[in-house]
Amino acid sequence: MSVANIVCIKWGEKFPPYYVNRLYAGVKRNMDRPFRFVCFTEKPEGIREEVEVLPLPVVPVEEEMVKAMTTGKRRGAWRKVTMMKPGVANLEGPALVMDLDVVVSGPMGGFFDHAPGKICMGQDWLEKRRRRVGGHGSVYRFDPGKHDFLYTEFEDDISAAVAHKGEQRYISLTAHKYKQLEYFPDGWVCSFKRQAIPLLPFNFLIEPRLPEKCRVMCFHGDPKMEEAIIGAGPKLRYKTKPAKWLRELWLDVDEKDWMPT
């Protein structure tokens, strides 16, 4: 059985190192095969030794990319595309790219077995409602040996890429253009704020649920995991009762008594 590549990226101050460490722990608990876990970052301090830490990829369009990362709703996320640069980390075979604000909640092997040879993403919830092509960028799989066009098109015409107004839309539509886009089975990738939190006002009365088929829960936007564990959140619509199941899924064994300060 080939080694499964798990890839994440941490830059800036938004996510502390324990986000990387807990993501690694969640993958380890739920992976049925050998795996390589790579984290690209400019700040490796505090990341557990099992994680292969590498510097952020350097790209010829760095200046234009940084400019694009300062504007727009998904500013900052364009750096994720640099992980798809050919030759980065000497990745061989499929690589599953995971955001740091996700929690592993089920078996991971299927993410590598589903639709082999294709670029796979969870279908974006809003795009599905609009009946448009679009995957969600929290979890996606590509093969650097087969899908180099995801990076080369970005480098060749970064203005056209940025016009998609988000790296996940750029990846989705580029993969679709090359007839390489497939969605992971419905229910594998879930949104905490859209599929776990009950609608207002029931979010104040009923605990958030963990959907039965969910394998990765995404905490895109707000609330993040620390808030969901204690039932907090910056917006009335997304305040919740404590998600008790999240303590078991996100925290390491020696962190069960952890609470945010």
Could you list the mean pLDDT of each consecutive 10-residue stretch along the chain, which spans 261 residues? 90 93 97 97 96 94 82 70 92 96 98 98 92 94 95 92 89 97 97 92 92 97 92 82 94 61 42
The 3-state DSSP class for residue 142 equals: strand
The pLDDT, as a whole number, for residue 73 is: 58
CB of 208 within 8 A of CB of 228? Answer: yes
The pLDDT, as a whole number, for residue 95 is: 97
Q: Shortest CA distance to 125 belongs to which of 221, 194, 171? A: 194
| Residue 227, number of CB atoms within 10 A of its CB | 19
What does the block give as tokens for 83?
Answer: 């992980």
* Ramachandran area for residue 212 (φ above 0: left; ψ -120 to 50: alpha; else beta): alpha
The pLDDT, as a whole number, for residue 76 is: 59
- Between strands 35-41 and 52-54, the pairing is parallel
The pLDDT, as a whole number, for residue 1 is: 59
Q: What angle do CA 94, 97, 102 make, to 5 degrees?
A: 140
**Treating both helix axes as pointing N-terminal to C-terminal, what angle do 167-177 and 149-156 enclose, rounded to 10 degrees?**
110
Give the predicted TM-score (pTM) of the model.
0.93
Q: Which residues pair with 95 in a beta bridge?
A: 5, 142
Q: Which domains does the chain have, with CATH numbers?
A: 4-183 (3.90.550.10), 189-255 (no CATH)
Q: Shortest CA distance to 185 belongs to which of 214, 157, 146? A: 214
The pLDDT, as a whole number, for residue 261 is: 42
Tokens 């992980």 identify what position? 83
Question: 70 Cβ partners below 8 Å, 6+ apart?
Answer: none
Q: Shortest CA distance to 39 belongs to which of 14, 68, 5? A: 5
Q: How far apart are the first and last CA of the chain?
A: 43
